[in-house]
Amino acid sequence: MKKDEPPLDFPDTLEGFEYAFNEKGQLRHIKTGEPFVFNYREDLHRWNQKRYEALGEIITKYVYELLEKDCNLKKISIPEGYGVIVLNPNENYIEVEKPKIHVQSSSDSSDEPAEKRERKDKVSKETKKRRDFYEKYRNPQREKEMMQLYIRENGSPEEHAIYVWDHFIAQAAAENVFFVAHSYGGLAFVELMIQREADVKNKVTAVALTDSVHNVWHQEAGKTIREWMRENCCNWVSSSEPLDTSVESMLPDCPRVSAGTDRHELTSWKSFASIFKFFTEASEAKTSSLKPAVTRRSHRIKHEEL
């Protein structure tokens, strides 16, 4: 901490930060009406980052409430019985305070050997920690030494994607499943295809990637996967070109089109309407046994490249 850095004592409500969402769902400052500003204090990047994270935790809870209330979605804890809700699959761990080293009291009159007492004490602590730590989420306001405890079967985005597929999507009654995968999510989806190729092909109707960082060569995706992606996927990438303009690709997988923005974090939002049009076309094509428009576009791209 810098000598002149303010304490990390942040509010626990949006109003406390003097922010609110307007009628368009945009986060705006209550007094100035300005969008969120990261550099709230100049030359205090660490403090600004902690403030950003604290506000992010509040917004995350707010969004989950909207998903449950307005979209009628159900929030499920994973893995089963562990009581963990994965808020961000790119951070599949919980940070908890490191346990303090226990010093055996000299007044302990137990007849048990010291080694046995120490082993029992360790087991007891581990049991309590396993029971309690899942309720403790990252709190950037606390300046305590933390440790990362990875969530069982969900220790990485790739593991998380496979876990969700096996435990939820594969068992769902839905016949038409659609994926929207942003950034690293695209890499996780390709890994899911590698591990569950036949199941994914059977259940997934279309996949929309937004500025995906996947690489079919590095991930060693087979020919049949690459062919399926060419026919059923589209990647809306950051580009200064108008929305849906074809963008050249060096990889032999899905077509790439402009998301209508050169900002990575806005690609999903900017391509929102195009993605749902793509899904509608794919669903109709599946019903009528015709190929969706994006597939015809993929053949056009191949022809132009040749």
What's the DSSP call for residue 179? E
Which of the residues 107, 124, 183, 240 is marked catalytic? 183
Which residues, including other chains, have CB under 8 Å from residue 242's CB and lie 6 or more apart? 258, 260
What's the DSSP call for residue 137? -
Helical segments of the chain, H only: 45-69, 114-132, 157-164, 184-195, 197-203, 223-232, 267-270, 272-288, 293-305
Instruction: Quote the CA–CA distance of 64 and 202 in Å, as a whole number.
Output: 30
Query: Of the candidates 238, 258, 268, which has an alpha carbon nearest to the alpha carbon of residue 301?
Result: 258
- Determine whether 249 is an active site residue: no
Q: 263-280 burial by CB neighbour count: b if 16+ within 10 A, else e?
A: eeeebbebbeebbeebbe
Query: Would you please indicate which residues are annotated as catalytic (active-site) residues?
Result: 183
